[in-house]
Structure 1
Amino acid sequence: MSRPAGQCVVVASFNTRGVPVVGSNLTERYRAIAAAFESSDVDVVAFQEVFTYCHLRRLTAGMPSFRHLGYQPSPVGPAAGLATLSRLPITRCGYQRFPLPQPDPALPRLTRLKAALKGSLTTALARYRLRVINTHPVANEDGDWSESNRFHDLQQGQLTDLAQLVREDPVPTIVCGDFNVAHNSTLHCDFMAASGLVDAFAGRCPPTFHAAYLSPGRTPHCIDFILTTDSIEIESTATLFTDQEPLPSGPSHLSDHIGLRARVRLVG
């Protein structure tokens, strides 16, 4: 049975910066992240960079009301580091890996390796005619999203695959994650046109990467998004974890990213 039109769902997206495991206050950060969501009104959280089952257990242990878990198993943890936790029952969960990258000597070897492990996680809510796609395309290490940049074709191919995934099913859809492309880039604009999605923040989201983690001279951008099909109405939006949090070892950001939250209403 689908959820009656007019009812609301609260969705959040957060890149947890799961690596490096050593020296990143993983236990403290994940405990604080989990506690924040457990005490919130969020129904569904799309997490990125949950790379190991240890990471996943630390989140689920602190979020007992999020009893429903979506991820694609891999030998070490959730595939592509994607995990979606939900207070609402899940009817199905599927994972689609991005196409394998073409050989390109201009790209770092590690980037080519990571690109082969990236993809999108689709979670369908049981009592709602609604799916949530959690995604994390490969990063652009140059911070340059121009068409001449060495990362452009690789990122474009992954975003094209994501747009096709969105279009293949007419069900109301929320797409969220760390896209690793700036909101004002041609890559992002072309993806929005190809997918037909709408930005929950209407293009007004602030930078979602903390400037403190950038190299000197780099400018932070909005690279994380919550996007929806036009059958979903946006009631409100907010940013999460924008400031340092008090941890036992001292004040710290919970991630190099900020989180996003959107309250949406199903209108059809």
Structure 2
Amino acid sequence: MIELRLLTFNALMRGGVRPRLRALGAVLERSGYDVVCLQEVAFRSHADLIRRAAPRYGHHAWSGAVLPAGGLVLLSRRPIRTVRFSRYPRTGPARAEYLMRKGAQVAVVETAEGPLAVVNTHLSANRDGDWSAANRYTRVARAELGHLAGELARLDPALPVVAVGDFNLPRTAGTLAGFRAAAGLTDALAGDTGPTYRPTLRWPNPPALDHVLVRSAPGRTVSARARIVFQDPVPLPGGRQGFLSDHYGVEAVLTLASSPAGMAEEPRPGL
């Protein structure tokens, strides 16, 4: 049995990006995270900046010569066996968000308990802030989650899975709940009512939009406990203080264990 620490974080693609990413890299370098999944990394140069600021992460993955596909970046202290990017279908209202080529980054990371599938994703935003079944963006979410479910189904069933990122859906949204149930995923922050988007005057009570979801495999269990991090200002280059993003991060401690073949345990809810 081993524990593996993972972070998922929407790094915010606008507003003093480079100083914030330098500060983020410094935080990551000091941290004990084994795997870091980032969203909204707009340019390859930004991904390179973070990588240089956090050299202890000797393994990294993103695709795209100039713009990282989906804005998704994976940093790891463990070897990355394979990685692929799968783009979501274009659905719903036309919007500038299409330029981000949103999708899912599907990687297999080596651990002392065998390979682990790590899925990093960023779904389209709901510009109406209405997650009801009849909303126009709910159709977008259904299409993207359906595509993501297909990517999870393509994985080797012997692999335990952790799917993380900015889902742009509250955990109480029926669309997300249905996806979790259909894909056999457990929410590491189930029951937590705290937001993962920083409250503002325009949006004083945002929901949790960033999630850590896990699924065990036959003979190999994965469970998780998680907490919200990066809620406070940090020192930025130049001596000022600032927030790392408009999102908080979600830190998860994953417990990976092997069990006799055919005797896999049910995943435990997150604490």
What TM-score does the superposition give when structure 2 sets the normalisation length? 0.86
2:142 to 150, 156, 172: 156
Give the drift of 1:190: 1.1
- The CA distance in 1 between the partners of 2:203 and 2:16, in whole Å, is 27
Residue 7 (structure 2) aligns with = 12
1:2-81 to 2 correspondence within 5 Å? 6-18=1-13, 20=14, 24-73=15-64, 75-81=65-71
CA distance in 2, matches of 1:27, 1:94: 26
Q: Distance in 1 between matches of 2:99 and 2:195?
A: 24
Give the secondary structure class of the aligned counterpart of 1:262.
strand
User: Within 5 Å, which residues of 2 pair with 1:109-188?
Assistant: 109-111=95-97, 113-114=98-99, 117-127=101-111, 128-169=114-155, 170=157, 171-188=159-176
More displaced 10-residue stretch of structure 1: 166-175 or 63-72: 166-175
2:66 aligned counterpart, secondary structure: coil
Residue identity in the other structure for 2:95:
R
Change (3 A) 1:9 1:217: closer
Within a 5 Å distance, the mapping from 1:159-238 to structure 2 comes to 159-169=145-155, 170=157, 171-204=159-192, 206-212=194-200, 216=202, 219-230=205-216, 231-234=221-224, 236-238=225-227
SS of the equivalent of 1:174 reads: strand
Deviation of 1:249 after TM superposition, in Å, equals 5.4
Partner Cα distance (2:132, 2:192) in 1: 21
Residue ranges of structure 1 left out of the alignment (5+ in a row): 1-5
Task: Please state whether the residue corresponding to 1:135 is helix, strand or coil.
Answer: strand
Deviations 1:149-170 (A, max 9, x none): 1111011100111122223322
Query: How many pairs are equivalent?
Result: 249
Whole-Å Cα distance in 2 between the matches of residues 260 and 137 of structure 1? 16
Q: 1:114 to 1:194 in 2, by over 3 A?
A: farther
**Per-residue CA distance 1:160-213 (angstroms, 9 max, x = gap):** 11122223322101100000011111111111112110011223152000012x
Counterpart of 2:227, as a letter, is A
How far, CA to CA, are the matches of 1:37 and 1:205 in structure 2? 26
Counterpart of 1:190, as a letter, is G
Displacement of 1:114:
4.3
Distance in 2 between residues matched to 1:83 and 1:26, nearest whole Å: 15
- Runs of 4+ in structure 1 over 3 Å off: none
* Structure 2 residue runs without a partner (length 5+): 259-271
Counterpart of 1:246? Answer: 235
Structure 1 residue 217, shift from structure 2 partner: 5.3
